[in-house]
Amino acid sequence: MPKQIDIPTCFVCRSSELEIVLNKELGPMTHCGECGFAWLSSLADEEIESTYIQTIAS
């Protein structure tokens, strides 16, 4: 039986073009590339738990 894949979407415009950005004061935030809306995220959020990858630029 096929398994349904849940793709995180923006709360405002329902776009799937999401980025996770790190804000120094607020921590991880999810940012929509389509409408520009951003909201606070945590690793407990089901929306980003499976897609969170931390990278360090040199």
- In angstroms, the CA 52 to CA 43 distance is 8
Domain ranges of the chain: 7-52
Length of the chain: 58
What is the pLDDT, as a whole number, of residue 13?
93
Residue percentage of the chain with pLDDT more than 90 = 19
Query: What type of residue sits at position 58?
Result: S
Q: What is the average per-residue pLDDT within 13-21?
A: 90
What tens digit of pLDDT does each residue of 23-46 get?
888 888 889 999 999 988 765 555
In which residue are the tokens 């959020």 written?
45
Task: State pTM to two decimals.
Answer: 0.59
Q: Give pLDDT, residue 12.
A: 93
Distance CA 43, CA 35 (A): 23
